[in-house]
Amino acid sequence: MTTPPMKLLRIKAIALAVTDLDRAIHFYTDTLSLRPAFEEGKQVGNYLGDTVLMFKKDWYAQPSDALNPRVTIETEDARSTESALRARDVVIADPVERYGESLVGSFLDSEGNKLWFCSGPEPT
């Protein structure tokens, strides 16, 4: 049996827990001089190269000096990526769902780490 290709493209976003969204935006925009990243007209973080540092307030994680960011991998098509992962017996932690204009899901790696994946809007 041939497994379908996953077409993983790049790290799209790394989510960072924040307690004060305005302070985080000020730090990354003004102090570090990183350009703002917007989704649906609202600043959600800042770009570091082509990767978005996405700020998450009131999230399951709290800011910490221990490692706790969330990594999101961009794919060509999140739904086909989910199918390809399932074909490889990879555990899907969060089936693909729509969040705004994006399709987002997650899977567990061999060590139990949750990695997220996403794609843009579904073709009409």
Give the pLDDT confidence score for residue 6 in this predicted structure. 85
What are 70-86's pLDDT values in tens digits?
889 999 999 999 999 99
pLDDT of residue 93: 94
Q: What is the largest CA-CA distance in the chain?
A: 53
What's the pTM? 0.74
Q: For the chain, report the end-to-end CA distance as a whole number of angstroms.
A: 30
Decide if pLDDT at 27 tops 60: yes
| Helix ranges, 11-124 (H) | 21-26, 78-87
DSSP H or E stretch at residue 40:
none
Give the chain's domains with CATH numbers: 8-119 (3.10.180.10)
Is 11 a residue whose pLDDT tops 60? yes
Question: Cα dist. 84→15, 17, 39, 104, 107 in Å?
Answer: 24, 30, 27, 15, 11
pLDDT by residue (tens digit) across 81-123?
Answer: 999 999 999 999 999 999 989 999 999 988 687 889 999 877 6
| Residue 124 pLDDT exceeds 70 | no
Q: Over 80: is that where the pLDDT of 39 sits?
A: yes
pLDDT value of position 41: 93
β-bridge partners, 103? 98, 119
Q: How many CA atoms lie within 13 A of 114 on its CB side?
A: 13
Contact between 15 and 88 under an 8 Å Cβ cutoff? The reply is no
